[in-house]
Amino acid sequence: MKAATSFKGNLAFDSSVLVEIFSDSELGRSLFGALQDEETTIHTSGVNIAEASYIICRKLGNDRARQARRDLLDSGYITLEEDLCLHEIASGIKCERAIALPDCYTFAVAELTSSVPVFAIKEHELIREIGKKPFTPAPIFLS
């Protein structure tokens, strides 16, 4: 994780970040620790939760995925955004950009909540799209 990254304010977590948290990886633990010390509001979508859940299910089993999802949602630490216009925003982004649909939801959540989108890694498709036309606000990449 980048040491200089600030986590103050509103953040929109991508599925990749949720996977790191759900799997209790070193990156996920570091991020969670850094967030404890900041004034941060975290947002995500049901699509991002679903994607992270099935990835954890495949890696660690369905019971672990279900428990991680429940723990995170029950913690009150993350706000699940399900406004109907979220789907309209996400579909508009998908129409204009060649990125995965869950990534579109991350950017839609960011737009809807005036948040900064946060991704665990620099995915090829995202970097290509940023090169064509930057996202506003620019996403944060943890690694």
- DSSP bridge pairs for 43: 12, 79
Q: The domain that contains 47 carries what CATH number? A: 3.40.50.1010
Q: Is residue 3 part of a domain?
A: no
Q: Which helix (H) or strand (E) holds 71?
A: helix 62-75
Task: Return the C-alpha torsion angle 122, 94, 68, 44, nearest 10.
Answer: 90
Q: Write down the pTM of the prediction.
A: 0.92
Q: Is residue 65 part of a domain?
A: yes
First to last CA, the chain: 5
Domain range for 87 is: 9-141
Q: Is residue 66 part of a domain?
A: yes
Residue 4 has pLDDT above 60, yes or no: no
At 59-110, the pLDDT tens digits run: 999 999 999 999 888 988 899 998 999 999 999 999 999 999 999 999 999 9
Q: Is residue 31 part of a domain?
A: yes
Q: Is residue 4 part of a domain?
A: no
Q: Are 16 and 120 in contact (CB under 8 A)?
A: yes
Quote the strand ranges of 14-137, DSSP E.
Answer: 40-45, 78-81, 116-119
Tally the domains of the chain: 1
Q: Is residue 17 part of a domain?
A: yes
CA distance 41 to 34: 13
Q: Is residue 99 part of a domain?
A: yes
